């Protein structure tokens, strides 16, 4: 079984549309996937020249993305992400009308590996991706999730696409570290102390 890390970015904020629950009103701008070796970026802006030659750039179309994700699931792979079940996949299902996202969510136990959900069940509260990768891997995100929509609005499409792909890679690296080393580090919200949490995935 393999993992395909997935991350998305949107042009708008949750407060623009009345909250995270209004997933149909989000405007997806970039979807990125990473399987540990190969990256794919789905975007309708001209970003090909700014991407490394090893990265495949495709149109952000529900059929294109849906077929690619479907192929991964048919091969027995899982979709991997941080907050995948609450943010990324519901937006792809409701706003982009991506049928594979809907199928994956309907069979989440067998199709989805959500590091955010799993860490929350261990720690007792949500752990931001940046916190987990900083303390576990010594790495950081290229920008914050709050900055990405603004950068998109400013026309920095290549920056947002690179950020999205890097987030997919970071999620993959975090999952891989937990699998190989058996732990993830994160800061406890109540004590402020960075703890080592045992994971079995």
pLDDT of the residue at 5: 98
Structure tokens at 56: 């495949």
Q: Which residues contact 74 (CB under 8 A, 6 or more apart)?
A: none
Q: How far is CA 20 from each of CA 31, 35, 126, rounded to the nearest angstrom?
A: 18, 28, 16
Options 3.40.309.10, 3.30.420.10, 3.30.360.10, 3.40.50.720; CATH for 3-198 is: 3.30.420.10
The model's pTM: 0.95
Low-confidence stretches of the chain (pLDDT < 50) are none
Query: What is the distance, to the nearest Å, from the Cα of residue 20 to the centroid of all Cα atoms in its chain?
Result: 16
The bridge status of strand 28-34 relative to strand 39-43 is antiparallel
185-192's contacts with Cβ under 8 Å and 24+ in sequence apart are 185/132, 185/135, 185/136, 186/119, 186/123, 186/127, 186/131, 186/132, 186/135, 186/136, 187/127, 187/131, 187/135, 188/123, 189/125, 190/125
């Amino acid at each position: 079984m393999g993992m395909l890390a997935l991350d998305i970015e949107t042009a708008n904020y949750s407060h623009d549309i009345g909250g995270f629950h209004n997933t149909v009103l989000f405007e997806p701008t970039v979807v990125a996937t990473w399987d540990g070796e190969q990256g794919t970026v789905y975007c309708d802006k001209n970003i090909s020249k700014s991407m490394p030659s090893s990265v495949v750039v495709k149109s952000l179309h529900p059929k294109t993305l849906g077929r690619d994700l479907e192929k991964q699931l048919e091969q027995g792979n899982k979709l991997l992400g941080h907050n995948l079940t609450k943010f990324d996949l519901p937006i792809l299902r409701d706003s982009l009308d991506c049928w594979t996202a809907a199928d994956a969510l309907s069979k989440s136990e067998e199709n989805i590996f959500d590091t955010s959900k799993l860490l929350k069940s261990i720690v007792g509260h949500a752990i931001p991706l940046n916190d987990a990768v900083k303390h576990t891997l010594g790495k950081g995100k290229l920008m914050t999730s709050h900055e990405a929509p603004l950068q998109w609005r400013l026309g920095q499409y290549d920056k947002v696409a690179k950020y999205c792909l890097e987030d997919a890679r970071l999620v993959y690296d975090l999952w891989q570290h937990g699998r190989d080393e058996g732990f993830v580090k994160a800061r406890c919200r109540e004590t402020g102390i960075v703890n080592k949490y045992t994971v079995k995935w």
